[in-house]
Amino acid sequence: MNLQVASTARSKEFPVPRVFEQLDAIRQTVLAARAAGKTVGFVPTMGALHEGHLSLVDGARAECDVSVVSIFVNPTQFGPTEDLGRYPRDLERDLRLLGTRGCDLVFAPAADQIYPAGYDTSIDVGELGRQLEGEFRPDHFRGVATVVLKLFQIVPADVAYFGRKDYQQTLVVERLVADLNVPIEIRVMPTVREPDGLAMSSRNAYLSAEERRRALALSQSLQLADEIVRAGVRDVETIRGKMLAHLTSAGVDEVQYVAFVVEGTITPVRSVDGPTTVVIAAKVGATRLIDNLRIG
Ligand code: PAF
């Protein structure tokens, strides 16, 4: 990773944000900004940025004086057979994109900065971390909660921005901040979709053109659930059955779950009688995708 080049390069139209690799340097810079009366908005990411991430930066810029983005592919949130090794990484492209959106500061540490030798503490987020995503990715939310808390210590911002696409992750982060008294506000921003409805995700880059077409079935099945509820059907098993039929006929390879939960929780419902979120995880080829939609 050639940060020197990245941080000093200047695009003709847009300034590249200031890049920090060292924990102490970014922390002191953020603390100094806050001491000077500025508000700081923070967007934690794993890079491979897309419009979804950039909308979070827009949110931070709109609400805060200083915007900070972290780029760190966090190894502890990947399972042993998952895609850590091939997760897309392109720091220079990410910095260019962040420049176009006016991001001020980027924190891009090396893995041993975050997890030095001997590192041995982690956060158990309880039941919330064990259901749904947690069933299929057993230590995923332990890794997410641990790195997010560490990032909040390193970048002590006023507000942190997360995308609604990772619905359960937003609940985990809100739980973590409440349970451990972390002095930061959490903002959840809407899912950003491609024009045809596919939720933006860094993992969409893995899809072939043919898989990309089949992947559309996730957002379509969520839309279908919404239409069925609007037509007056409430029974979750009936709606789930129609969604599964659509997913199967569209050629999705493996549906891991389609769950109906009380909005803002992971508590399952049997009937859509109030604000409900449908969450879905499925594999298209080797790529695992998630999406969700609020209905009812
Ligand atoms: O949503 C992500 O990209 C990651 O889970 C996060 C929050 C940056 C933690 O590594």
The yes-or-no verdict on residue 5 having pLDDT over 90 is no
φ, ψ of residue 30 in degrees (nearest 5): -65, -45
Q: How confident is the model at residue 122 (pLDDT cuts 50, 70, 90)?
A: very high
Judging by DSSP bridges, how do beta strands 159-163 and 105-107 pair with one another? unpaired
Q: How confident is the model at residue 2 (pLDDT cuts 50, 70, 90)?
A: very low
> Can you give the pLDDT at residue 12?
55
46 lines ligand 1 (CB under 6 A): yes
How many CB atoms are closer than 10 A to CB 5? Answer: 10
173's tokens = 């982060």
45 lines ligand 1 (CB under 6 A): yes
Closest ligand 1 atom number to CA of residue 44: 8
Question: In sequence order, what are the residues at sequence separation of 6 or more whose Cβ sits closer than 8 angstroms to the Cβ of residue 51?
Answer: 192, 200
Report the C-alpha gap between 259 and 268 in whole angstroms.
7
> Can you give the pLDDT at residue 150?
98
Q: List active site positions.
A: 53
172 lines ligand 1 (CB under 6 A): no
Q: Is 279 helix (H, G, I), strand (E, B) or coil?
A: strand
The yes-or-no verdict on residue 183 having pLDDT over 70 is yes
pLDDT tens-place string over residues 32-54: 999 999 999 999 999 999 999 99
Q: How confident is the model at residue 9 (pLDDT cuts 50, 70, 90)?
A: very low
The residues with which 187 forms a beta bridge, in sequence order, are 161
74 lines ligand 1 (CB under 6 A): yes
Distance 232 CA to ligand 1 centre (A): 37
Distance 79 CA to ligand 1 centre (A): 14
Distance 234 CA to ligand 1 centre (A): 34
- What whole-number percentage of the chain has pLDDT above 70? 96
pLDDT tens-place string over residues 223-237: 999 999 999 999 999
Q: What average pLDDT score do residues 72-94 get?
A: 97
Read out DSSP for 210-261? HHHHHHHHHHHHHHHHHHHHHTT--BHHHHHHHHHHHHHHTT-SEEEEEEEE
Q: What average pLDDT score do residues 69-94 get?
A: 97
Report the C-alpha gap between 166 and 149 in whole angstroms.
17
Report the C-alpha gap between 110 and 45 in whole angstroms.
14
CA distances, 24 to each of 28, 87, 114 (Å): 6, 27, 12
Which residue is closest in CA terms to ligand 1's atom 6? 45
Asked whether 17 and 60 are in contact (CB, 8 A), the reply is: no
* CA-wise closest residue to 106 among 175, 20, 32: 20
Closest ligand 1 atom number to CA of residue 73: 10
Distance 119 CA to ligand 1 centre (A): 20
Report the C-alpha gap between 26 and 20 in whole angstroms.
6
> Can you give the pLDDT at residue 15?
86
Report the C-alpha gap between 257 and 244 in whole angstroms.
10
* CA-wise closest residue to 241 among 266, 258, 219, 216: 258
Comparing 296 with 192, the larger pLDDT belongs to: 192
The yes-or-no verdict on residue 8 having pLDDT over 90 is no
pLDDT tens-place string over residues 234-291: 999 999 999 999 999 999 999 999 999 999 999 999 999 999 999 999 999 999 999 9
- What whole-number percentage of the chain has pLDDT above 90? 94
pLDDT tens-place string over residues 189-213: 999 999 999 999 999 999 999 999 9
**Which residue's entry shows tokens 């789930």?**
240
Asked whether 16 and 9 are in contact (CB, 8 A), the reply is: yes
The yes-or-no verdict on residue 1 having pLDDT over 60 is no
> Can you give the pLDDT at residue 219?
98
